[in-house]
Chains A and B, each alone.
Chain A
């Protein structure tokens, strides 16, 4: 079964007297273990599609199912629970919680899942080690570089053992070297631990690492290539 199944997804935004058609009837399936990149120019609908898959936004028409569950039939609370238990998010601007340490940020989702303190701490340290941040567990975000913060965000995204990680321009704010390291880390998580990733990105390096590239143009899928 596909992790994500998108059918006829349309998203329109009213803008003054006009309507912006961000997505125009997109259909797509994401399979377990894929390292999928949504690419396309600005305004092509990459981030909109990512947000709709994550249940952060509601479609104008069409459907999104995650592991067979239709997001449209869920209450806001149920969508929250789905994001908590089955999805991970990585944002362009890291978006760590500034008052929490690296380990506490990684623990955050586990706390929401109701895991015990010992289990949370062990898992947080484990995921931080997986992204190469051993010894930095007690640092607050303002004590970490941009690349380190994004690694913490990756650790947070995978700590809850999600079925799917959605990453919106995760390398956009990073320098070339740091970006390469982060892509390698996520690819390793994908190959070694089977974490499924879907990226929205312009970054050609991410595309090079992808197992599948979906090109969006004007809110429609122009090309869907598996490597």
Chain B
């Protein structure tokens, strides 16, 4: 208190008292963060000792895994193809479904605010449920296989893509749309002619990102029985077929790298 008074004499500035309040807040944040992390540490049951005993086991598997198994390569390639196909069909279906909805869910072009809010809620709900969870439900509904994965990817990506697209639409400058609307043109014409060229590159970029993301995501969808390379991954792990496991992991790495680079190259070409 005394410090504050003396400093206030030198610098009659209210900032001084604000600084101590700020320091108080800083300490409070520090305490809360420490509490949060110590609670998380316990809830996650982090146990470095178990990791240390587990690591040699993994090293043993790695030694047993070499050389990778090649006898089942045709089947594994087919499963990899399934994975890419699931991602492609799922993402494309999601994009087609997202097209009309992103217009409704963009504040600046929505036909009515009465539709805007329900559209946003719906998209947030889709986005909130991971494709993995959707796939789990669809395996129960339509049976095992990649189709359940396609449906899972499509639903989650529908929400995510439409939301990002709506945000891209909301971020474009309003002037050109106003100018087009001021000529007496209908909303459809304004959107098709003045909005699309402005947002198309970023929309395609978002679409490519989700395709790439979904290829990575669908490598594990097989774990819940939704087809693709993930199913073989789980089988091999269950049966401790390490050389086969290594082949699968290498295939996933190659596929994801190729897709990532293709998508990145395509996105760069758009700019």
- Please indicate whether A and B come from the same complex rather than being unrelated chains: no
Interface residues of B (CB under 8 A from A): none
